[in-house]
Amino acid sequence: MKRLKESYPVYICAWMGLFFGMGASSIMSVYLNSIGKAPTELSRIMSASNWFAIALLPLTGMAADRIRHPKRLASVLLAVAAAATFTFGIFTDDFALFILYGIMMGMISSVNVLAERLAGAGRYRYGQIRIWGTIGYAVSAQVCGWILDKASGRTLFSLISACQLIGALAFLMITDLKRQEGPEDQKDVPVVDEAAKPKRSLAQQYRFLKDPRFLLYILLIFLLQGCTQGSISFVPLLLEKLSVSRTLIGTFLSLGTLVELPMVLFSNKFMDKVPPRTLLIFNGCLAVGQFLVYGLTRTALPAVLVVIVVKSICSTLIMMVNLKMVNLIVSQESVSSAMGFYSMTNSIGLGLMQLISGHLIEDLGIQSMYLIYAGISAVAVILSFFIKVKNTKSVFT
């Protein structure tokens, strides 16, 4: 056990366990549709994750900043998610599914905030850790699609729950280490124990809320992430509408996730060099492009190509840009709180978009919904030009 502690395989298990559970959300709309849920019902159930996250994420960030042991907090939250996931496959009642899905994904979102920080400040480079989350998500999308075609929902959610428990145990065995600035061959050193430092007031901890740059960024993310993450929820339904089988949907989602591997693995080569505003504008343009394809295509091939080539790059790049932006705008002592506030805002945007999207699908059709997504994302691109943040800190190296 001592050999495993702090080892690279432990990090692999932690991130794969977390993202295996996250990957299940990519086919949730197909699962809910298969048990007879209408678009408004499934959008209401899936929105639960965001409403639960609104309460959980700020508390998670505050707790992580104050107790300064994010790995323990991540382990407990992921174990709770595993219990909710296992139970989710048993019920079909709308209210029970709403509560359980809210707990399951709310906990996963909270762990993801902590994991992003741990991946960026641990003993290994961000890309070396985060790549296993990408692989876990890809494997999950493929396996979940196959199980939905061949077995029961209970089998699916039991498997996901087991993977999350493995991840929870693995998080306990990683440590908070910070790379020294300087040459790459410098050894990793432990973070100075800050537990003995005086506790800061809430006003000090949340003073970033008075920074106009942070507030503008939050508004932009409210729009862009609401569309980007909302798109992920409904892409399987779009592909199913275009006559793609469930197994192939899982395969295409998996392939799309694997496409982002080079970007994650080599994030240290470009993320700290390219200005953050340039990355935001590029990401917004990708989002507008993919939504236009989803909204205008009449055959499956263009949508499938965008799912494979663009979708995961767009959603992963915005997460990495966020880690960079928050670290550049916010003081180090408040990063977890800022990440939690960002995620809460993201959850509000996504929750509202999912509720509205269910009605748009029923009233106008799923492709008209994506054209509306394109328009909202275009507004976010315009806002990106007004963000002024100096590229003064290395986050990914």
Structure-token pair, residue 38: 């209408």
- What average pLDDT score do residues 253-257 get? 85
Question: Does residue 198 belong to any structural domain of this protein?
Answer: no
- Which one is predicted more confidently, 121 or 63? 63
Residue 338 pLDDT = 82
Total domains in the chain come to 1
Residues 105, 117: Cα–Cα separation, whole Å: 19
The pLDDT mean for the chain works out to 83
Question: Does residue 190 belong to any structural domain of this protein?
Answer: no
Question: Does residue 201 belong to any structural domain of this protein?
Answer: no
- pTM reported for the whole predicted model: 0.71
Full residue range of the structural domain in which residue 123 is found? 8-178+207-384
∠ CA 191-20-250, rounded to 5°? 145
Residues 238, 190: Cα–Cα separation, whole Å: 48
Instruction: Give the other-Cβ count within 10 Å of 308's Cβ.
Output: 18
**How would residue 182 be classed by pLDDT, with cut points 50, 70 and 90?**
very low
Question: Does residue 156 belong to any structural domain of this protein?
Answer: yes
Q: What percent of the chain has pLDDT over 90?
A: 27
- What average pLDDT score do residues 173-198 get? 48
- What average pLDDT score do residues 218-245 get? 86
Question: Does residue 129 belong to any structural domain of this protein?
Answer: yes
Query: Which tens digits make up the pLDDT trace of 338-384?
Result: 877 877 777 787 788 888 888 888 899 999 999 999 999 999 999 99
Residue 175 pLDDT = 67
Question: Does residue 195 belong to any structural domain of this protein?
Answer: no
Residues 380, 105: Cα–Cα separation, whole Å: 26
Single-letter amino acid code for the residue at 145: G
Question: Does residue 189 belong to any structural domain of this protein?
Answer: no
162: left (phi over 0), alpha (psi -120 to 50) or beta: alpha
Query: What count of Cα atoms within 13 Å lies in the side-chain half-sphere of residue 222?
Result: 13
Contact 105, 78 (CB under 8 A): no
Residue 370 pLDDT = 94
- pLDDT for 177 beyond 50: no
Residue 122 pLDDT = 62
CATH of residue 275's domain is 1.20.1250.20
Exposed, middle or buried, 385 (CB in 10 Å: 0-12/13-18/19+)?
Answer: exposed
Query: Which tens digits make up the pLDDT trace of 103-139?
Result: 999 899 889 888 877 876 667 777 788 889 888 888 8
Exposed, middle or buried, 151 (CB in 10 Å: 0-12/13-18/19+)?
Answer: exposed
Question: Does residue 267 belong to any structural domain of this protein?
Answer: yes
Structure-token pair, residue 74: 């991540």
